[in-house]
A and B are shown apart, each in its own frame.
Chain A
Amino acid sequence: MKRIFDIVGKDISQTLRSPMAALFLIAMPLMFTAFFGLIFQGVAKDEGAQEKPLVAVVGEAQDGSILNELQTLFQESGELTAAVFTTDEYPDSLILFEEKEAVAVLSLPEHFQFLSQDQTPATLYVDETSSEGQTALYTIQRVFSQQQILYSTSRLAVQVVDEQLPYASDQEYQAALEQVLAKAGQAWDKKAVTVSMERAVTETTDLSRIESAYDQSSPGMLVQFTISGLMGTAIIFVQERRTKTLQRMLTTATSRSAIIIAHALSMFFIIVAQQIILVLSGHFLFGVDYLREPLAILLVIVAFALWVSGMGTLIGVSAKNEDQVVLFSLIAMFLFTAMGGAWFTLENTSPGFYAIARYTPGAQAMQGLQNIIVRKQGLSSVFAPVGMLLLYAFLFYAAAILIFKKNKE
């Protein structure tokens, strides 16, 4: 056991001594974070301003007040923009999807009002499979249920009063109702009771919600350069075979498995340290909010490092020489970085690519990190990606062990 850590110590000092190490492990990822951040910064800002999905509210011109009320309510939700159209202008309201790039169309029947039992219900057209559609659906539902609660409780209150102490006239009844409604509305706004709802987990990063482009480039470059960062240590496997230091170790009382375990551990430690430095730099240099959930970020980092070191071990035991280590590492880096959505958000890719790519280890790491820094979710939001990463780590280690056993024959 002690010997394992002796080898780990040797590996780490060897790896860090290489002039490429500091460059590859830390300097390049920071440079590229800044670089991609600057490139996409403009894009993110522009899109961010107008990117709130549009809901088209369609109804009869005579029902203007309820249409405007809904528009205001949707706008106030902060999640949507809303625009009002009349059925005269758009007899076929579905055209609005294309013409106005609406993500949802809410079509109101004539004389629509909140809380009327005997009316045709309003119709909501929405694409539930897109995350914007989901946002619209959720927001609209919330607005409606809020209004329904307001109206029904107010009406109930006024009815109760009316039974005890009947109002003189219908006008008075109506005035009282409006008064109660207004009060109830204010009370709701004061949030005496706060109903907090976490948004359903959306699978990928939606660029529209990225406030700073560093929220994409920082975790992206972290994923990319962690994968290429394994190279320096993976190369030790083949170096030791070539220089016969491996054989020499075996003449001391050190077993082959201990040597493999030591190299895997070295990679793990180096990668974790690298990621911690990158996360702290991301937080303090680029303002990426990693530290709002430090434990969650740590979990993702550790799980990701386990997978990367598993892959490094696999490369180390299968490569015949140093060139192959570099080649395999670069292939792995490009493959898993591109598939992982480290350069661009996966959401903007074709559905076929997206369906596969989202489950790759790189994408899982990105998701875990961005659940915290972009989607502002809690600790539990990283459990699924961390679980997936651990599974991948297990698979890659298993493959490495199989190849190692086979080569030993």
Chain B
Amino acid sequence: MENAVEVKGLKKFYKDVKAVNGVDFSIQSGEIFSLLGPNGAGKTTTINVLTGLFPPNAGDALIFGHSIKKEPLKAKALMGVVPQEIALYEDLSARENLVFWGKLYGLRGKQLQKRVDEVLELIGLRDRQRQRISKYSGGMKRRVNIGIALLHLPKLVIMDEPTVGIDPQSRRHILDNVLQLNKQGMTVLYTTHYMEEAQELSSHIAIMDQGRIVANGTHAELVKLVGEQDRVELALSQDGGKVLKEWKKVKGVSKVDQEGEKIVLLVNDSNAVLPELFKIANQQNARIASIAIHEPNLETVFLHLTGKALRD
């Protein structure tokens, strides 16, 4: 299958800042791909080059096979871009903004009005569509900011930190929107410095720091880099000496410890192992009263790879 995005040897320098310093990654059609990195990593610069805002110093990016350098118009037509900063006309209403941007994306007439209605529905601002943007809360502005990029039903949506600085409710709304869009077949390139978002949304994650991709893969693959295993903490309803012994024999379980009431297991892949653990407990007539799975997270991965924390 054709890749939605292919970035090859991309470099972009400001005067003395190597903002993007040789970046390669590719995004499969239909997936959500996250670019995760701290502030200043070069995410926005990468996106800006990808969306044709300015040319790279080296390298190229292909959008569904169209080079952003050689065929910028074809490439641009295939994507919807949600800029990091809210880029709206504050003195126009949400609807007027959507209509204007829809026109710039080439929509006209009935189709334009239909798409505007659909997007207003999607971002949950139908009731307040006639109000000026300047009257909106930060979260509502963010939603309009995103909605604009969806008007022309692009095959690829690029979102640059769309959830920065908003209330949890709006954030949830946005993340749900992203998942929903992806279900409908849109490919999503999502940048963030929140590892929880990357983890929840994406099939593939690239970790970026100081203008370079330091690691790239599925969440599981990345975590494996650190060599850490899932930590499963549980409690049994009765004494389970026999159960613990059986559990130790299960493939993928490397350690079983009793820490007071709590039983701690280290397992390679909790998803694969848990059903087996439950089955054994059942056979021994033991009930699992509580359970918590702690996957090693991207925070640890980032720390491991760069020697510093993801968030300062």
Contact = CB atoms under 8 A, between A and B. Distances in A.
Interface of A: 2-3, 6-7, 10, 13-14, 17-18, 243-245, 247-254
Given A251-B53, A253-B76, 4 more contacts: A14-B89, A245-B87, A247-B48, A248-B101
Given A3-B104, A253-B73, A253-B106, A248 B87 contact: yes
Given A243-B88, A244-B83, A245-B87, A254 B104 contact: yes
B82 to A, nearest CB: 9
B226 interface: no
B233 to A, nearest CB: 46
A382 B90 CA distance: 43
Given A14-B92, A253-B73, A6 B104 contact: yes
A167 B20 CA distance: 115
B14 to A, nearest CB: 13
Question: Size class of B's contact patch?
Answer: 20 to 34
B96 interface: yes
A14 B92 CA distance: 7
Contacts of A17: 91-92
B104 A247 contact: no
Contacts of B96: 13
Given A244-B83, A251-B53, A251-B76, A6 B103 contact: yes
A7 B83 CA distance: 20
Closest 7 CB pairs of A and B: A248-B87, A244-B87, A6-B103, A252-B104, A251-B81, A251-B51, A253-B73
A253 B51 CA distance: 10
Nearest to B103: A6
B52 interface: yes
Contacts of A6: 100, 103-104
A248 B104 CA distance: 10
B81 A248 contact: yes
Contact of A247 (B87, B88, B92): B87
Interface string B76-100: 1101010101111111100010001
A249 B101 CA distance: 8
Interface in B14-72: 48, 51-53, 72
A245 B72 CA distance: 19
Contact of B85 (A7, A14, A244, A253): A244
A313 B54 CA distance: 23
B91 A14 contact: yes
A253 B87 contact: no
Nearest to A254: B104
